[in-house]
Structures are given as C-alpha cells and as structure tokens.
Structure 1
C-alpha cells in the first residue's frame, strides 16, 4: 500500500543516493541557455545593458545563461525557430512575425515604463533647425527606418502613416534601413536622412534621450546635440511593449523558473533591472499572446499593402 510515509521514505532514499530530483531533469538536456536581444543600440551598448541580466538568470535559473547580441531582428526570429535561442527580448513586431511564421514561442513579461504603461509609441523625428513642421512637409525627402522587423522603426510608421494618407514607399524619395534605432538617429543628426523613425516612451525616456545621456549624438560638424535639436512631427497610436519570450518547447518547470526569475528581477537584482532602461522602468508585468494580436493585425495589413504597392 502506498502511503505518504512510503513516498517520504523513497524521496529520502533518492537523496541519499545523490539522484537528481525530477524538477532538475531538464538540466541534462539544457546545461546552458541562450538569451538573445534584438539590436536597439550598438553591440557594446547592448552587451553592457544586458550582461547583468544574463548573470542574474544564471544564478537564479541554475545553469549558465549566455548573452547573444543579434545582428538583426531576423536573427532572433530564426534562432528561436531553430531552437538555438531559448529566451529572447523581441520588439512587438519581431515577436508577432515569429508567431505568424510558425515559431513556437511564448511571451512571459515586458517592462512597465515610467509612465506606468507597458507600451510606447513610434515617432518620426526631424531636426529642429529644418523647415519641416509636419509629415506633409517631408514629401520627396529621405526617411531613415531601423529594420524590416522593427515595430517603431518600420512596421508602425508604415501602418500609421498610411492611415494618415502617407504611403512610405511613395511619399518619401527613399526609405532606408539603418540597422538600429541608434543608427537612425545618427543618420538624421548627420544629415544622411531628413527624418527618422524611432521609439518614444515619454519626454524623458526614449532612444534619443538615452543616446544623449551617453553623449553619442553629434551633428555633421561633430558638435554635441541636445534634445531641443530634434522635433517630433508624427506619433503613432499606443503600442504594447515587446516581450521577453521563451521557447514553447522548453520543459514546463524550466519555463516556470525563467518566468518567476523575471518577475522577481526588479526587487531581487535592482541594479540589473535598472540597467535595462537606465533606471527609467518601474517594473515587469506578465504578457500573453492575446496582448500582441493588434500587432499581428498591423503586420498583416502592412503585408497586404505591400502586395498591392
């Protein structure tokens, strides 16, 4: 007869023999995990920002977590498709594209910004010294985008500008992908493009403010620039912030451990959490696939538009 006492005795016997508990079985298959990040800034900046998180996850999850800074958004999508990337920080559009193309991933958490919202906006910047006061003034000018799978740097501006009557591929003389949010700002600052798309959380927290804090925004003459040197001429509707997402194929107990580690992060390792946003974010909140349905719908609309352009 199986009793609670029998089960306790069996567990104790396994412990004496040094056999692993069932909850640790996944370590044999996953002795190391990879955390990948979509490019928002240069590689060294991304490494500095996310290394403390990888170290925290290593300590909390119990196996080494290796940080991979992706060359572009597609590399993260394809890495998760191949099963080589176990945890990734996606933009909402790259996560949506992954789901739309059959990658089995699950969102776990995203950041709550200083505004109290788990989301942000796409904006189009021009130089304050330019004559451009609105999108209409940019007809026939050059637009700097980020990456095909960037939300704020491509998908959102295409969708919302089209809704406002401006087809990106027809209205501008050219729309060029710069490779990262930082590169888009630098292209505008140095006069390579007339306008640039980027992400914006608030007046005091955006990619631009973070770049200005690092002192890396200089004009064509090499002079340092200020926030007042830039003007926003277009702002999208509110967008859900991109998620940290795990492979759906990971063992349930491992996924639960990763999820809990993220939820605990703001208090368990405040320094690592603050490093992610230069101390601007307030916390992390759980996310589900349903939260990204509007982004999936946006990508479908953009894909359909591209077929007919």
Structure 2
C-alpha cells in the first residue's frame, strides 16, 4: 500500500489503521510506503512496486496517459450537502487584477503563483481554466510563473505582494478567510471551479478478482465497520474532510471532470506538458 508526501506529511500514519484492518481482512501482510512526491509515486506504480495506491486526481490523470498496471476501484464520496469541499479558487490582488477580463488583457504584466507541480486544485485545474480563456501557455504569457509549495504559502505570497494572482484549493482559502476576514477586501475571487472529484484508490491488475471484490466490499463498508480507520485516511487529505464513505468507481467516474469551463481539448496537452517540463 502506497501514497505520496504532501508538504511535511508522508501520510503513512494516516494509512496505517487502514492497512492493519486490511491485513486481518485479507489475511496477508501489508506494508505502507510513501513516495516523496506524485511523479516518483507514478514511477513506482509503473515499475510495478505498488499493489494498492492512494493518489490524487492529477496523479491519476497523468498515470492514465500510459497506464498498464493499475485500475481505480474506489474514491471517497463527499456528502450531498457539502459546500465548497474541493474547488480551485483563482485569487487576484484587488488593486492590480480585479477580474478575468483584466487578467486576459494584461497577462504579460501579471505574476501567477501555483501551489506545486503535483497539485490538482493548485496547478492542473487553474491551467485548464486559463487555457479555456486563451492563456494556453502560462510560462510564456504571464510575466512570471512560480510555485509556493503549499496552498497557505501561495495565499501569503499574494497578501505580501510577491505575486499578483494565485491558484489554491478552496478549503485553504476559506480557512484563511476565517482567520482574517480582511482577505475578502484585499483579494478578489477571479474564478472558482466546480467541485473536483477526489482521487482514486488504485489496485494493481495482478491482484486476483476474488481479492479485488473483497477489497471493494471492505472499503465500501469501512464507514460502518471501522470509522476510526476512515477518519485517519480523511485526516491525511484536506480535500477529504467532508467525505462520508468510499464509493466503488471505474475510470469513467472522471469523464465529466475531464472537461473544465467548456474546454476539454487541451487536457492531454497540459498533462504532457507536466510530464515533459515539470516532472523531470
């Protein structure tokens, strides 16, 4: 069982209660590992080093470009009445970039801060939106493109005037807004995405059909049989805070998501750009 590190959390402790319960369920030992980042995790998957993987949405889309080893079997399902659970917020400095029109017309004078190359809400989704409004090559069309390392740092850099706009997850934006309500005056929401589907649980195709069926059943009832293990998993991913349970899925679960703001044609190009330029 494996995942990837975000910021300073390798998430091993978040998966250990689940792995111990799964050991008893499958009657076989399970080792939990964490890769330094999404690219190295994908490489580990392609090298057939992972049997069960917990990956983010961007990581899965990258993997699906050339995926032979794994299949998605489940994801965390967010409760129906959840609001602003996992979205991208594109924030602008109110004095310099107040709306999308000014962003489009003056992009060459604008500095943008993404979160990290492997971030779904802080890199992939905003790039899909920018592509849909004509900014298909941020590195060429913006004055400066940089990465803050995490969502909180991206917002801080915007407040400090070190960047003109930033793209972050909505949960961190709302968290910072609760801490400092003046954030709504000093920044402008240029765009907010629809809810982003959470990343999948991946299963190696070498796992037998009977074990696959057993594992899906185990995850589907975890909220009833072992809510503590489910909570530990949720605590490892901020976007999973409002999730209620695991939902069985296939690759088709992400079909609607592959289209952002009426634009789908540039997703493969953006993903390949990531592979060629950001993940080397």
State TM-score, norm by structure 1: 0.68
Aligned-pair CA distance for 1:305: 8.3
Mapped pair 1:122 → 2:88:
yes
Does the aligned pair in 1 maintain the 2:89–2:173 contact within 8 Å? no
1:55–1:131 Cα change, 3 Å: farther
Mapped pair 1:35 → 2:39:
no
1:195-230 Cα offsets, whole Å, 9 max, x none, are: 322233xxxxx2445xx4xxxx7xxxxxx9436526
1:66 and 1:130 map into 2 onto residues whose CA distance is 51
- Give the equivalent residue in structure 2 for 1:74: 39
Aligned-pair CA distance for 1:156: 1.7
Aligned-pair CA distance for 1:61: 3.1
* Structure 1 residue ranges (4+ consecutive) displaced by more than 6 angstroms after TM superposition: 304-307
> Alignment partner of 1:282: what SS?
strand
1:194–1:67 Cα change, 3 Å: farther
2:102 and 2:28 map into 1 onto residues whose CA distance is 54
- Give the equivalent residue in structure 1 for 2:238: none
1:276 to 228, 233, 245: 233
Aligned-pair CA distance for 1:58: 3.2
- Give the equivalent residue in structure 2 for 1:157: 126
TM alignment of 1:164-243, pairs within 5 A: 164-167=133-136, 168-181=138-151, 183-185=153-155, 187-188=157-158, 191-200=161-170, 206-208=171-173, 212=175, 225-226=179-180, 229=183, 231-243=188-200
2:213 to 248, 253, 256: 256
Aligned-pair CA distance for 1:62: 2.9
1:122–1:256 Cα change, 3 Å: same
Q: Which has the larger radius of gyration?
A: 1
Higher relative contact order (CA 8 A, sep 6+): 2
Question: Bigger CA drift: 274-283 or 258-267?
Answer: 274-283
Does the aligned pair in 2 maintain the 1:125–1:232 contact within 8 Å? yes
2:221 and 2:113 map into 1 onto residues whose CA distance is 38
Structure 2 stretches of 5 or more lacking a match?
236-240
| CA-based RMSD | 3.4
1:130–1:59 Cα change, 3 Å: farther
Aligned-pair CA distance for 1:85: 1.6
- Give the equivalent residue in structure 1 for 2:21: 56
Mapped pair 1:299 → 2:263:
no
Aligned-pair CA distance for 1:96: 1.7
Mapped pair 1:142 → 2:107:
no
1:107–1:189 Cα change, 3 Å: farther
Mapped pair 1:290 → 2:252:
yes
1:120-146 Cα offsets, whole Å, 9 max, x none, are: 43222346x765432445532322223
1:245 to 167, 192, 202: 202
1:99 to 53, 64, 69: 64
Question: Bigger CA drift: 169-178 or 262-271?
Answer: 169-178
> Alignment partner of 2:36: what SS?
coil
Mapped pair 1:110 → 2:78:
no
